[in-house]
Amino acid sequence: MPAASAFYRYYERRLARSLPPASLPGHVGVIVDGHRRFARTEGYADFTESYRVGMAKLEELLGWCAELGIQAVTAWVLSTDNLRRPPAELEPYYAILEELFARLPDLARRLGFSIGVSGSLDLLPTSLVQAAKQAERRDPEARLQVNIALCYGGRQEIVDACRWLVADLLEAGVAPADLPMAIDADGIAEHLYAADLPDADLVIRTSGESRLSGFLMWQSAYAECVFVDPYWPAFRKTDLLRALRDYARRERRFGA
């Protein structure tokens, strides 16, 4: 084993031992950013290989989180804004996402996690939507709840939640004139895409960007945020453990 690898294995074990279960976040959100910059840094001819490495990294992340006892993970793999990219960039990524969804059910069975997919799926190619739906594995008793944010936009999620809430209130017999007073925070929260998941405790963004770009706008109101430098395909277990250590050291006040 190379000396550098041995050192990182030792360092990872030491970091993990410093994180008691009570200090870990329940729900971790991850913005998997930096595929294209990683491809340029590595000298790839196009972005396809970096996308493939990035999705393999996501599978590694889920293994790390299952091992650590994290209860929920939301991974943002495609935003609605990303749809403005050229087809030459999007189509290879769609294919690699389909490959990911084909592999996830087996990984879920081995690691004991459930799979949900949330976002504006109606904007995506039919084959990708079918792959995502076939991969879903709902199990409220699973040790780890995995939510894949696919073609996701935080503003659109809140708009959709409000629309669905209003529709349900009308169906329940609430008069249109009474709707304004019937809409509240609890009602909106119950109509979010992944309403069964708790609010995010920690949000990690890779690639050195220090913004959330609308990720989990409602659910991250009191989340701690950690911005790390590595591009997503180069993200390591060490980077995750450092982010968890940073989270554990913070005093959460929830606005108080």
Domains (range + CATH), the chain: 24-71+81-152+193-249 (3.40.1180.10)
Q: How confident is the model at residue 2 (pLDDT cuts 50, 70, 90)?
A: low
pLDDT tens-digit profile of 193-232? 999 999 999 999 999 999 999 999 999 999 999 999 999 9
Q: Tell me the average pLDDT across 29-48.
A: 95
**Which pair of structure tokens corresponds to residue 42?**
């590595």
Residues recognised as catalytic? 33, 82
**Which pair of structure tokens corresponds to residue 158?**
């809140």
pLDDT of amino acid 167: 98
User: Rounded to whole angstroms, how far apart are CA atoms 210 and 152?
Assistant: 19
pLDDT tens-digit profile of 224-248? 999 999 999 999 999 999 999 999 9
Q: Is the pLDDT of residue 1 over 60?
A: no
**What strand order describes the sheet that includes 113-118?**
113-118, 144-152, 72-79, 27-31, 202-205, 224-227
Q: Tell me the average pLDDT across 21-42.
A: 96
Q: Do residues 214 and 154 make contact, with C-beta atoms less than 8 angstroms apart?
A: yes
Q: How confident is the model at residue 16 (pLDDT cuts 50, 70, 90)?
A: confident
Q: Tell me the average pLDDT across 138-145.
A: 91
Distances in Å between the alpha carbon of 158 and those of 38, 111, 165? Answer: 32, 32, 10
